[in-house]
Amino acid sequence: MKPKQKKFIFVTGGVLSSIGKGICAASLGMLLEERGIKVAMVKMDPYLNVDPGTMSPFQHGEVFVLDDGTETDLDLGHYSRFVHTAVFSKRNSFTAGKVYDAVIRRERQGGYLGKTVQVIPHITDEIKARVHEAVADVDLGIIEVGGTVGDIESLPFLEAIRQIRQEEGAANVLFAHLTLVPFIAAAGELKTKPTQHSVKELREIGIQPDLLVCRTDRPLAREIKDKIGLFCNVAADCVFSAEDAASIYDVPLNLAAEGLDDKVVEKLGIWTGRPDLSKWRAMVNTIHNPKSEVRIGIVGKYTDWRDTYKSISESLVHGGVANQTRVVPVYIDSEKVEAGDLSEIEKVSGLLVPGGFGERGIEGKIRAIEYARTENVPFFGICLGMQLAVIEFARHVAGLDHANSAEFKPGNDQNVIDLMEAQKGIEDLGGTMRLGAYTCLITAKVMGKATHAYEAYKKEKISERHRHRFEVSNRFRPMLEEKGLVVGGVYRDAKTTTELVEMVELPTHPWFLGCQFHPELQSKPLDPHPLFTQFIKAALLAAKGTQQKLKGIS
């Protein structure tokens, strides 16, 4: 039943960063959504960047783009993989930078009528207004506070959520705190002290957590839960363990087994049925008991920073689920390939070249693409990966031997990847990114044969998200098509009818497809993206072929 009053769950994190607050919030969202509650997922980040668009992927992981073009961080990716009905827009993610920017602009415009503008109440009011705006159309908001309790910059956010509880009433607002309970080998026991300290910090600023979710590497015995409850002033049945899980998709099932969602609805006075987790359970079962295994090479630049490719690696898992297979990602450093080392490339059954910016490592990626094209290895190029596939084709098939991208060789006369005419001469490149969702029209057939693109989507009109500046040059398109490059999808401007290439493929190859957009941003474990499903299917076929060939030799 629909709750009358709007409900809020604020998720904070203690002790350390990276203990899985985003997954915990996402899991809760999934469990409550499955109970028929309309939820909104919101992330508030205490850093001062206005958005993560300009932050280095080394430091902050991937930039997750929403349909409306908002650049957010990878937690929004977790949320959108776990929940299905929630809509994500610029309302669902904001940073301290955005909040301060709005307040300072208002002050400059005289919006505060000469008052002294202060963190409390002006910054906190702005935070509260944004929370209310984000949950306007739903029954329940799950709002994650980024950072770790105890950080100076999260204080205004914590003060704002304290006030929301005061205003909305304790019956409608829950504070869930994720904390770490480490096992100390030397003592041979689980330690609760960091949790006690983290809760103490919260209580000092007026927040008493209602629920404690304890990340641990082993189950928490009843006595430990009792002890934590006693010292943290939380009922022992509100202390939950979140044990390390083999797959992030186990987490909602584990939390449900602990009774977390039961407790949440009980405390918030929401009457619902139990969640139907059968589909989720079946998916997790496939992850743990696959029928086969396939190795996929991801040729990238930041090979040691896996979070840079978080959505891609998750989408590969989803594509694996759709094919009842386990995908083993093999991260291949493009600079090694550039130096001539193809040893790792030779050991995978499919190659994926993801998006990226900047020149470093691109020749290695082009070399990998050439290998995939000439050796019939299934290839999936995403954004920069597609652009490089076009460059490779132009150089080695179409005879444009110094083909390149204007991103790397401005002024070069064979830039098959270029800025659109309208963008040329604009100094501020930040303003010229193509961001967010665009419609793509798919070419169903070429010479009587369905395109790989159509085989995947089974429809002629799709919507995918973008984050790039450069495009396939329309000047070279006819020549590339003449040489056999198939344009599998285009964006067509309604007014000018100008087209932009969205997808390319090679009809003579088992599976060679590049897309200018980012399909990984829309894949979910219960709804794998069709391009990933088809790519893994092709890789499995290729793996079988190689095995048969090897058998034939021996």
Q: Which residues are catalytic?
A: 383, 518, 520
Least distance to ligand GLN from the beta carbon of 91, Å? 24
Determine if 69 is a binding residue for ligand GLN (CB under 6 A). Answer: no
For ligand GLN, which is the closer residue by CB, 145 or 391? 391
Residue 501 interacting with ligand GLN (CB under 6 A): no
- Find out whether the peptide bond into 121 is cis, omega within 30 degrees of 0: yes
CB of 72 to ligand GLN, least distance (A): 15
Instruction: Report the distance separating Cα 541 and Cα 543, nearest Å.
Output: 5
Check: CB of residue 408 under 8 Å from CB of residue 469.
no
What is 435-470 written as a DSSP string?
Answer: EEEEEEEE--EETTEE-HHHHHH-SSEEEEEEEES-
Residue 237, C-beta contacts closer than 8 angstroms, at least 6 positions apart: 259, 263
- Does residue 362 belong to the site contacting ligand GLN (CB under 6 A)? no
Using the rule CB under 6 A, is 356 a contact of ligand GLN?
yes
Question: Would you state the structure tokens that stand for residue 367, as one six-digit string?
Answer: 């070399």
| Interaction mask 178-217, ligand GLN, x per CB under 6 A | ----------------------------------------
Q: Tell whether residue 407 is a contact of ligand GLN (CB under 6 A).
A: yes
318 vs 434 by CB, closer to ligand GLN? 434
Query: In this chain, which stretch among 23-31, 47-55, 147-155, 351-359 interacts with ligand GLN, using CB under 6 A?
Result: 351-359
Residue 384 binding ligand GLN, by CB under 6 A: yes
Which CB, 46 or 361, lies closer to ligand GLN? 361
Per the structure block, which two tokens stand in for 120?
Answer: 């409390």
Strands (E), 181-225: 183-184, 189-190, 211-216
Which range binds ligand GLN by CB under 6 A, 46-54, 65-73, 165-173, 355-363? 355-363
Q: 344: buried, middle or exposed (CB in 10 Å: 19+, 13-18, 0-12)?
A: middle
Q: Is 217 exposed, middle or buried (CB count within 10 Å of its CB: 0-12, 13-18, 19+)?
A: exposed
User: Residue 180: which of 243, 273, 222, 119 has the closest Cα?
Assistant: 243
What gap in Å lies between CA 532 and CA 346, rounded to an integer? 21
Q: What is the dihedral of CA 95, 99, 105, 106, to 10 degrees?
A: 160
In whole angstroms, what is the distance from residue 27 CA to residue 431 CA?
A: 35
357 binds ligand GLN (CB under 6 A): yes
Can you tell me which of 9, 207, 383, 536 binds ligand GLN, judged by CB under 6 A? Answer: 383
Binding mask 465-484 for ligand GLN (x = CB under 6 A): --xxxx--------------
d(CA 189, CA 182): 8
Identify which of residues 165 and 468 has a Cβ nearer to ligand GLN in the complex. Answer: 468
**SS3 at position 361:** coil
> Residue written as tokens 């130096």?
339
| Strand, helix or coil for residue 10 | strand
Considering only 14, 355, 364, 525, the residue that binds ligand GLN (CB under 6 A) is 355
Q: Which residue is nearest to ligand GLN (CB)?
A: 355
Closer residue to ligand GLN (CB): 124 or 522: 522
19 binds ligand GLN (CB under 6 A): no
- Smallest gap from Cβ 383 to ligand GLN, in A, equals 3
Q: How far is the CB of 429 from ligand GLN (least distance, A)?
A: 9
Q: Which of residues 313-342 bind ligand GLN (CB under 6 A)?
A: none
Stretch that binds ligand GLN, among 122-130, 278-286, 333-341, 463-471 (CB under 6 A): 463-471
Nearer to ligand GLN, 263 or 468 (CB): 468
- # chain residues binding ligand GLN, by CB under 6 A: 10
Closest among 389, 363, 362, 364 to 378, alpha carbons compared: 389
Question: Of 243, 237, 240, nearest to 266 (Cα)?
Answer: 237
Nearer to ligand GLN, 60 or 467 (CB): 467
- With binding defined as CB under 6 A, does residue 361 bind ligand GLN? no
Helices first, then strands: H and E counts in the chain: 18, 25
CB of 74 to ligand GLN, least distance (A): 15
The distance of Cα 384 from the centroid of its chain, to the nearest Å, equals 18
**Shortest Cβ distance from residue 356 to ligand GLN (Å)?**
5
Query: Could you say which residues in the range 259-298 bind ligand GLN, by CB under 6 A?
Result: none
Rounded to whole angstroms, the Cα distance separating 189 from 207 reads 29
148 or 387, CB closer to ligand GLN?
387
Minimal distance, residue 357 CB to ligand GLN, in Å? 4
CB of 469 to ligand GLN, least distance (A): 4
Question: What does the binding site for ligand GLN look like in residue numbers (CB under 6 A)?
Answer: 355-357, 383-384, 407, 467-470
